Amino acid sequence: MDLLSVLFRWVHIVAGILWIGLLYWFNFVNIPFAGGMDGDTKKKVVPELLPRALFWFRFSALWTWVTGLLLLLMVFYHGNLMFDEGMGGWNVPAFVMLAVVLFMFFLYDVLAKSDFGKNIRNMGIAGFIIIAAVTYAMISWSEFSYRAYSIHIGAMFGTIMMVNVWMRIWPAQQKVIPAIKEGQAPDAALVAQAGQRSRHNVYLSVPLVWAMINQHTVVPGAESPLYLLGAVLVGWGAVHFLYEKSTKVKGF
């Protein structure tokens, strides 16, 4: 079990570096660059570049998620890290919250498709309220430990991100890229969908890393959800700054 745990952590981190590195490249490098390309250049560059990048992007996302799930099973469930001593247990509330983690994408998806959710500020406000509510339920209802609710909020983020890649970004790009190759204007709705979900994934990725390092973020004797919720806000602020910066970085 220890050997498998080490192996899964290794694959999880390497795959995660590849996934998130490409995510940041798309958003902070490629999108600002592509905005300055003319039609003929896009016809040559996009069909050759993006399918290659998206191949590594989507499969690294999948392997990051699969190994993350295996680590949850081994480290937290098998390793008995879900509940503090004398608190909680594997009851109905605990299983309900696990279902929330795995299926939150569907609520997120409805919200993201709505006119309300198309505004990034509205999406952020609604998202933070949902995150705070789920965190509160994990603590007060299912009685998860600090490390348990932190990692499960991270798992919720990661699941949304992975499904976004496979069910929203990749299917849209499969239609957008051939249109660009043929010199046609791609469907604006598909371009917007891929861009929106990619942007959401960037915002989720920074607090996700905080959740992943939960063993190192707890202050002994002062375990508080404010650490996690604060990391979400700080992370989102950092991402906003990086987006602003990305438009100002120029080539020679």
Q: For 170-184, what is each residue's pLDDT tens digit?
A: 999 999 999 999 989
Average pLDDT of span 9-28 = 97
Cβ pair 82, 148 in contact under 8 A = yes
Res 220 pLDDT > 70: no
pLDDT tens-digit readout, 87-141: 888 999 999 999 999 999 999 999 999 999 999 999 999 999 999 999 999 999 9
Per-residue pLDDT band for 54 (boundaries 50, 70, 90) equals: very high
Res 33 pLDDT > 70: yes
Average pLDDT of span 205-231 = 85
Per-residue pLDDT band for 30 (boundaries 50, 70, 90) equals: very high
